[in-house]
């Protein structure tokens, strides 16, 4: 495995839980998708994306093909098993079956990986601001048989709290859900705010009952050598965040 291509989640999950986020390094794609793009919907050559996905499967010794989603910035979570196929319209997957891989693609949005302390339930969430505000976290947590206080969450690379500028409507939407969300916004120019996506997600996870939240905030926008960023580049690739259990 090329270590530079992958970030392994650092959290006190059970030993049988495996969770990774890819970087943009070490793949086969040409600019502007260089080089480890794992998304088929961004304009990259389909054959090259398949090469990258085969490399992902091989280097991580995946037990099955990840179930890839048609992500639509929704609050839809779906349970997956051995019969599931890719390209369903959803923004999170949950499974209680070993060897089934939950995966999300991101390039500024926040990937959230979730497991239970028993090591027999996992989920992956694509959490942009729209999904967070619409309830994607709570809808995913609802799939778990384990109580929320038995769950752990890991936050992956996303656009950082120094550069994620949004409008009044975004701040208003989050504050309507939780007035304390105001703490996650700093004023920019009139009518614009700098939002802390990590802080917003942590608040929502806590409200959902998950107190065990981990992750190293790493800004996709500010690290062009390591991460794709849609806001920085517009036409670009996507990283994958994956979780499964043995």
Residue 51 placed within a domain: yes
For the purposes of burial, counting CB atoms within 10 Å of the CB of 33, is it exposed (0-12), middle (13-18) or buried (19 or more)?
buried
Structure tokens at 237: 């690739």
Q: Which residues pair with 66 in a beta bridge?
A: none
pLDDT tens-place string over residues 139-151: 999 999 999 999 9
| Beta carbons within 10 angstroms of residue 1's beta carbon | 12
pLDDT tens-place string over residues 41-69: 999 999 999 999 999 999 999 999 999 99
Average pLDDT over residues 161-183: 96
pLDDT tens-place string over residues 4-44: 689 999 999 999 999 999 999 999 999 999 999 999 999 99
Q: Which residues pair with 185 in a beta bridge?
A: 195
Residue 110 placed within a domain: yes
Q: What pLDDT score does 217 carry?
A: 84
% pLDDT > 90, the chain: 97
Residue 163 placed within a domain: no
Residue 81 placed within a domain: yes
Residue 232 placed within a domain: yes
The model's confidence at residue 1, banded by pLDDT at 50, 70 and 90, is low
Residue 193 placed within a domain: no
Q: Which residue, among 164, 224, 150, 167, has the nearest Cα to 200 in the 3D structure?
A: 164
Domain containing 52 equals 17-157+208-245
User: In angstroms, rounded to a whole number, what is the distance separating the alpha carbons of residues 231 and 163?
Assistant: 10
Residue 142 placed within a domain: yes
What is the CATH number for 147? 3.60.140.10
The model's confidence at residue 2, banded by pLDDT at 50, 70 and 90, is low
Question: Per the structure, how many domains does the chain have?
Answer: 1
pTM, rounded to two decimals: 0.96
| Beta carbons within 10 angstroms of residue 184's beta carbon | 22
Residue 189 placed within a domain: no
The model's confidence at residue 216, banded by pLDDT at 50, 70 and 90, is confident
């Amino acid at each position: 495995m090329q270590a530079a291509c992958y970030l392994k989640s650092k959290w006190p999950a059970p030993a049988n839980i495996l969770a990774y986020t890819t970087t943009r390094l070490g793949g086969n794609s040409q600019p502007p998708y260089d080089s480890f793009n794992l998304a088929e919907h961004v304009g990259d050559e389909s054959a090259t994306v398949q090469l990258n996905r085969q490399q992902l499967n091989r280097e991580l010794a995946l037990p099955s093909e990840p179930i890839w989603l048609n992500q639509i910035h929704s609050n839809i979570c779906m349970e997956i098993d051995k019969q599931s196929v890719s390209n369903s319209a959803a923004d999170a997957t949950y499974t209680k079956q070993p060897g089934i891989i939950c995966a999300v693609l991101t390039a500024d949005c926040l990937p959230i990986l979730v497991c239970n302390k028993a090591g027999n339930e996992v989920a992956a969430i694509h959490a942009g601001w729209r999904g967070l505000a619409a309830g994607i976290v709570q809808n995913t947590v609802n799939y778990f048989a384990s109580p929320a206080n038995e769950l752990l969450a890991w936050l992956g690379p996303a656009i950082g709290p120094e550069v994620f500028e949004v409008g009044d409507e975004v701040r208003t939407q989050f504050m309507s859900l939780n007035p304390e969300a105001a703490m996650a916004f700093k004023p920019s120019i009139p009518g614009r705010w700098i939002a802390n996506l990590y802080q917003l997600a942590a608040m929502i996870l806590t409200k959902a009952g998950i107190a065990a939240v981990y992750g190293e905030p790493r800004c996709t926008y500010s690290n062009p050598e390591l991460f794709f960023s849609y806001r920085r580049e517009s036409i670009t690739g996507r990283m994958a965040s994956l979780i499964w259990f043995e």
